[in-house]
Structure 1
Amino acid sequence: MQEKQLTFDNRHHQLTNDQVWTPDSQWLVFDLRPPEASFTSQTVERVNVHLGVTEIIYRATAGACVGVITCSPQYPERYVCIHGPENPDEAWHYDLHHRRGVIIQQGLAVTLDACDITPPFTPGALRGGSHVHMYDADGDYLSFTYNDHVMHERSLAEDLRNVGVAVPLRSVSVPQRHPREYNGSHFCVLISTTTPAPVPGSDEISRAYEEGWVGHRGYRKKNGEWQRRALVFIGDTLAADGKKIPEIFIADLPEAAADYALPGAYPLQGTHDRMPSPPAGIVQRRLTFSRGVALQPRHWLRTSPDGSRISFLMADDEGIIQLWTLSPQGGEPVQITSLKHSITSVVNWHPAGDYLAFISDNSVMTCEVVTGHCRRVTARSARSPDGEAVVWSPDGLSIAFSRIIDGWRQLFIVTGELLPEPPFAG
């Protein structure tokens, strides 16, 4: 195995938690946010993993900043990232509910999600900020998390994080009665339902977040039918004793793009006192009834390419954060690892679906799903690699991650014989 440093300049290089490789496994995309997570990067860039050459993909203007860039898994070459407000001022600056997604192609950025904050609101437009945009396997739909400006203005307690989808149905134009409103290239809807006060002991949630697409082509349901598109996410439930318990939920999505424009029980676009609501037929289903999914380390739910397993992190009986999997049909979670040290990073699947990668005991590790056998693929270091991103290349031959070197976050890959190896006990 060979660990290779890709960046060396005095800048912080930040990878997103997944989809950071170009489809040919030749480039890694990143932004320049500092470790304290302030959103101050003015460019999104990429580095060639063979030559070490960096290129600017897009530079923001008018005082805006950009970051959290991901790459389409399919050609033509496209990127998507968060874009902060242009000409920010005291009343409107970067915040959870003041940001948008942009799709970047050939150096041009096109806004993904329209924004309409003036009633009557527009179906297909959002009313706030989208975040961490992830393409589906076809590169057509995108998922994101969302916070709402209209509800934020009413009450912080009503600005609940939710999960949404950008659908290639049609572009959305809004009347632009407010200077901070804009059009979008995709029809955007929320697919989760939240409430500020979940009933204790119920399946209601106050927050939906850290979502992931299910499989490359969905998953097989209990009745044998194939569900083409679905998203899993973490939802904050309230136990009977009033304790917050993060659990796993799934939402099956329509296959036809036109179905996303069909309103359900409440308006897609929301009202002055209600969050935007999911399209007809989308119902979130609770999958776990557990001690609670781990919130530290922060991680996103990911699924095997065939859609049969959802991976997530949860403490074992000793309080050690281990890797678990769960069927999208529900049932009991299965503990995969029995490590002596907690997993301290996001987790991502190998493209073939047999292995996962993560950080534990200050090393990048791989784990065979069937056996739970783990292997160090980087030497144990005095300071752990960063936990924000541990991402396989599309060809399955490399893993990208980052480390702090001389005070700066630098990008690395590890390559070589990453998979076959005698078991590692942890």
Structure 2
Amino acid sequence: MKQITFSPRNHQLTNINTWTPDSQWLAYDVRPSGASFTGETIERVNVKTGETEVIYRAEKGAHVGVVTVHPTDDQYVFIHGPENPDASWQYDFHHRRGVIAQNGQVKNLDAMDITAPFTPGALRGGSHVHVFSPDGHFVSFTYNDHVLHERDVALDLRNVGVAAPFGPVTPQGNHPREYAGTFWSVLISRTTPTPRPGSDEINRAYEEGWVGNNRIAFIGDTLSERGEKVPELFIVDLPEDEAGWKRAGDAPLEGTVENMPAPPAGVVQRRLTFTHANRYPGLVNVPRHWVRSNPQGSEIAFLMRDDKGIVQLWLIAPEGGEPRQLTHNQSHIQSAFNWHPSGEALGFVLDNRIACCDARSGEVRFLTSDHGNPPSGDAVVFSPDGRYVAWMEETVGFRQLWVTETGE
């Protein structure tokens, strides 16, 4: 177990894809805390030498954070807040964008157009937690809508989207806060402010994960027959070609002044879990976690309580069926989790230690012991070569980065 950062400030890892492809560097941001978006730099640290480098420094009062790394190239994608923020336009869920940094150059991922008629391929609000697909061609994100937020905050529902490499997209620029983007961006989830109790309708889509390169799974909040929120697992199949990404379905890709942007034709969300009758219904929101597929795309992992109320890991096939309870721990899993690159194990925090469980048997082995402070539940991330796992831990009042060997 090795501490690799030592400076008197926070170092914040994103929940996935924080390592460079050569397994030598960890990318992070420097937010004062996970909930405060006031960091000004995106950085990386060499896990062998402790050397640090600034990848990007924000200017004009903007802030940046939540960085992930391309699977094969020296590219970094992260949230960028607005430049020159003022009383009418500050950082918020619906006032942020994705940017890609490469070789010292930065370009907007998504375009934004908030002036009707809107532009297909552009968003009308803010994107967040950008993650490259396994092949690096696409970027997933969560989304909040400025247009509907201004109309009625209750209509600004969290959704999931994808940026596809079929841009650029250049709005007309009728508002000073609009901007062009290099990718074609669309939503792939569908929400409604008033889901019918007991139905597959949802009013929030979030914590998504890639399932191979052509599917995305996410958590969607359904309502039980009694009107109680029950988070369930959903999946969508993505278009196969550029024409499919740009073909509208039963509603405009760009949305209207009354409605959220709609998914492309043929992108239909399918519900995978049906837990309303369980003793403890629904996927858990505490600890916060993102659903994750194994590298083979054959199993999706998520967190749910067992009949004793203990938070365990569960697996389900992308085609559906009965979920399989993987772990049978006596205490709660305490963190977000990730698959080992081999697909043979998953890593997480259990009993305030970094743990791995076998993806077939669920048998748990601990990789660490005797932490000075409990590991953060925000991120447990394997290196691409599978030899190391990284996490955050508070040291002398600040979050520092730690790594240990996996024994693989």
Q: Which residue identity is paired with 2:177? A: R
- Report SS of the residue matched to 2:321: coil
Paired with 1:179 and 1:353, the residues of 2 have a C-alpha distance of 47
Deviating runs (4+, > 4 A) in structure 1? Answer: none
Q: TM-score, normalised by structure 1?
A: 0.94
- Report SS of the residue matched to 1:390: strand
Query: By how many angstroms is 1:250 displaced?
Result: 0.3
Which residue, 21, 24, 29 being the options, matches 1:23? 21
- Are residues 386 and 334 of structure 1, via their aligned partners in 2, closer, same or farther at CA, if it must alter by over 3 Å? same
In structure 1, the partner of 2:286 is 296
Q: TM-score, normalised by structure 2?
A: 0.98
Which residue, 132, 137, 148 being the options, matches 1:151? 148
**1:361·1:380 contact (CA, 8 Å) conserved in 2?**
no
Q: Which residue identity is paired with 2:296? A: D
In structure 2, the partner of 1:250 is 235
Query: By how many angstroms is 1:153 displaced?
Result: 0.4
Which residue, 54, 63, 69 being the options, matches 1:56? 54
In structure 2, the partner of 1:184 is 181
Root-mean-square deviation (CA, aligned residues, Å) is 0.9
After superposition, the C-alpha distances for 1:182-226 in whole angstroms (9 at most, x for unaligned) are 0000000000000000001100000000001103x5xxxxxxxxx
- The 5 Å alignment of 1:18-417 reads 18-75=16-73, 77-215=74-212, 217=213, 229-290=214-275, 291-381=281-371, 383-417=373-407
Aligned length: 403
Paired with 1:354 and 1:334, the residues of 2 have a C-alpha distance of 16
**2:367·2:406 contact (CA, 8 Å) conserved in 1?**
no
**2:254·2:261 contact (CA, 8 Å) conserved in 1?**
yes
Which segment drifts farther, 86-95 or 382-391? 382-391
Q: Which residue identity is paired with 1:73? A: P
Q: Which residue identity is paired with 2:322? A: E
- Report SS of the residue matched to 1:151: helix
Query: By how many angstroms is 1:382 displaced?
Result: 5.7
Of all paired residues, the percent bearing the same amino acid is 57
Structure 1, unpaired ranges of 5+: 218-228, 420-426
Q: Which residue identity is paired with 1:237? A: T
Query: By how many angstroms is 1:326 displaced?
Result: 0.7
After superposition, the C-alpha distances for 1:33-78 in whole angstroms (9 at most, x for unaligned) are 1225110000000000100000000000000000000000012x10
Paired with 2:217 and 2:370, the residues of 1 have a C-alpha distance of 33
**2:314·2:327 contact (CA, 8 Å) conserved in 1?**
yes
Q: Which residue identity is paired with 1:84? A: G
Structure 2, unpaired ranges of 5+: 276-280
**1:169·1:258 contact (CA, 8 Å) conserved in 2?**
no
After superposition, the C-alpha distances for 1:355-397 in whole angstroms (9 at most, x for unaligned) are 0000010000000011110011010436310011100000000
- Are residues 33 and 267 of structure 1, via their aligned partners in 2, closer, same or farther at CA, if it must alter by over 3 Å? same
Query: By how many angstroms is 1:258 displaced?
Result: 2.5
Paired with 2:248 and 2:370, the residues of 1 have a C-alpha distance of 53
- Are residues 322 and 380 of structure 1, via their aligned partners in 2, closer, same or farther at CA, if it must alter by over 3 Å? farther
